[in-house]
A = this chain, B = another copy of it.
Amino acid sequence: MIRETNISPSHVRGVQHYQMKTVTDAIRGNLTVGEFGIEVPFIPARYFVTHSIPSTQTRGEHAHRTCEQFLVCVHGSCSVTVDDGHKRESFRLDHPGTALYIPAMVWAVEFDHSRDSALLVLASHRYDPDDYIRDYEAFLREVLKP
């Protein structure tokens, strides 16, 4: 069975929830796929995977000034809260075929990881510590400035 890509907007500026193209086959196994610059709205410069995260831990808790991110919980599940300074929304990523696009200047927190979660993050830019805003009040000042 083939399920085509579906992209849903969220209440948070620029954040989009994805159902990626997925091919389900009980005999051969399942495959989910995305093309960069097409479904995924950027060409990635970097990837990282977080895993073995205690369920009590939060990750993220920052915004990026320029970096965009695309999150795929490749195994297990985790929740992500996104916040643009005006609106906040949470998503549960619990299948490799679901994904979340987070543009720059959106605060994001990952939490409630299942014991077996493995979260793939594709990032539009190389690691740059100056691109991070790690203080929520500072984020609000930057994002809400007239």
Number of copies: 2
Known interface pairs A27-B54, A74-B74. Does A47 touch B122 (Cβ–Cβ under 8 Å)?
A: yes
Chain B residues with CB below 8 A from A54, complex form: 27-29
Contact present for B74 and A49 (CB under 8 Å)? yes
User: On chain A, which size bracket covers the interface?
Assistant: 35 or more
Q: Tell yes or no: A66 within 8 A of B by CB.
A: no
Chain B residues with CB below 8 A from A47, complex form: 33-34, 36, 40, 122
Q: Tell yes or no: A96 within 8 A of B by CB.
A: yes
Q: Tell yes or no: A59 within 8 A of B by CB.
A: yes
Q: Tell yes or no: A81 within 8 A of B by CB.
A: no
Query: Which among A1-9, A113-121, A133-141 touches the partner chain?
Result: A113-121
